């Protein structure tokens, strides 16, 4: 299968410990052999992971690897955001994943910062940096958990596109139909930027279920039931997870998605297992 016209990318989170960082280096060493378009690095809202995100980005850049730092605006001032963007520009970074982010529960309104939504961050970036960055934004085929309605969520996604986003990466999902329906609605409302599916390998049911409930990603009942039935049998969870996610990726690729973005969770094996089965 030719990957020439598709964008494949891998997402990392900034490790907190030296051991985690060593593991990240190994993961990147392995996944980089697949020649992805870029590695992205997440960023905690309000700058909570700023030091570790910078450390991870700095290392990737030293290795000459195309890097797309995530940048969330909630809880930060515009000047803080601009300082970070200047730093990235000076490092030769070309691509940013621009997000609102989430404040920790219990944070007061006073901690919101200057920008309330991701479209305002995209606007700020375009106003101050013109076309210097390729701007990726988040998209939610199963809708953002705080969305007031499906239509409002689509309109809000469109705001980011109008503000200057080049491309979008979706929240993960396990229903290709949800993605196709979302893209269809986007096209009907005049959104033409590439919308790259975010792919989350399945390696652990309890964690995935908790995380999915929080971020509004649905695990279809038949998948939940099968995963539940394996209990603590991690090998069976991984084997079934690989089968399900690979089949979904294949269907997405057969239907001309613009690429795939893997949420690696800093592990190479689950992503590679899917990648190799897809013969990418």
Buried/exposed 170-199: b ≥16 CB within 10 Å, e otherwise: bbbbbbbebbeebbebbeeeebebebbbbb
* Residue from the set 45, 96, 195, 217 that interacts with ligand FAD by CB under 6 A: 45
Of 24-32, 104-112, 142-150, 244-252, the segment contacting ligand FAD by CB under 6 A is: 142-150
Q: Does position 72 bind ligand FAD by CB under 6 A? A: yes
> CB 65 → ligand FAD: shortest distance, Å?
18
User: Given the complex with ligand FAD, which of 100 and 242 has the nearer CB atom?
Assistant: 100
Q: Does position 146 bind ligand FAD by CB under 6 A? A: yes
User: Given the complex with ligand FAD, which of 52 and 268 has the nearer CB atom?
Assistant: 52
* Residue from the set 198, 201, 241, 259 that interacts with ligand FAD by CB under 6 A: 198
> CB 75 → ligand FAD: shortest distance, Å?
10
> CB 120 → ligand FAD: shortest distance, Å?
7
* Residue from the set 7, 27, 171, 271 that interacts with ligand FAD by CB under 6 A: 171
- In the set 11, 120, 123, 136, the catalytic residue is 11
Of 76-84, 112-120, 244-252, 270-278, the segment contacting ligand FAD by CB under 6 A is: 112-120
Q: Is residue 11 among the annotated active site residues?
A: yes
Rounded Cα–Cα distance for residues 97 and 171 (Å): 13
Q: Does position 169 bind ligand FAD by CB under 6 A? A: yes
* Residue from the set 14, 101, 201, 241 that interacts with ligand FAD by CB under 6 A: 101
Rounded Cα–Cα distance for residues 280 and 277 (Å): 8
User: Given the complex with ligand FAD, which of 7 and 119 has the nearer CB atom?
Assistant: 119
Q: Does position 81 bind ligand FAD by CB under 6 A? A: no
Q: Does position 102 bind ligand FAD by CB under 6 A? A: yes
Using CB under 6 A, list all residues that contact ligand FAD: 42-45, 70, 72, 97, 99-102, 117-119, 138, 144, 146-147, 152-153, 156, 159-160, 169, 171, 198
Active site residues: 11
């Amino acid at each position: 299968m030719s990957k020439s016209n598709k964008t494949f990318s891998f997402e990392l989170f900034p490790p907190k410990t030296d051991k985690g960082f060593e593991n990240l280096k190994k993961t990147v060493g392995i996944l980089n052999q697949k020649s992805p378009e870029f590695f992205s690095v997440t960023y905690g809202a309000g700058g909570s992971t700023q030091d570790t995100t910078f450390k991870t980005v700095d290392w990737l850049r030293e290795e000459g690897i195309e890097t797309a730092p995530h940048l969330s605006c909630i809880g930060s001032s515009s000047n803080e955001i601009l300082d970070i963007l200047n730093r990235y520009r000076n490092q030769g970074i070309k691509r940013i994943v621009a997000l609102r982010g989430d404040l920790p529960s219990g944070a007061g309104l006073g901690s919101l910062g200057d920008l309330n939504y991701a479209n305002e961050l995209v606007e700020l970036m375009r106003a101050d940096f013109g076309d210097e960055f390729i701007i990726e934004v988040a998209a939610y085929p199963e809708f953002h958990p705080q969305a007031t309605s499906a239509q409002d969520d689509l309109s809000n996604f469109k705001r980011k596109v109008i503000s200057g986003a080049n491309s979008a990466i979706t929240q993960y999902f396990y229903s290709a139909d949800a993605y196709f329906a979302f893209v269809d609605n986007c096209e009907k409302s005049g959104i033409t930027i590439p919308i790259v599916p975010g792919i989350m390998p399945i390696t652990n049911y309890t964690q995935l279920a908790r995380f999915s409930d929080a971020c509004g990603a649905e695990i279809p009942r038949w998948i939940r039931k099968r995963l539940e039935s394996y209990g603590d049998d991690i090998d069976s969870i991984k084997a079934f997870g690989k089968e399900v996610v690979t089949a979904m990726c294949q269907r997405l690729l057969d239907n001309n998605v613009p690429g795939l973005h893997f949420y690696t969770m800093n592990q190479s094996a689950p992503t590679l297992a899917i990648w190799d089965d897809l013969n990418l």
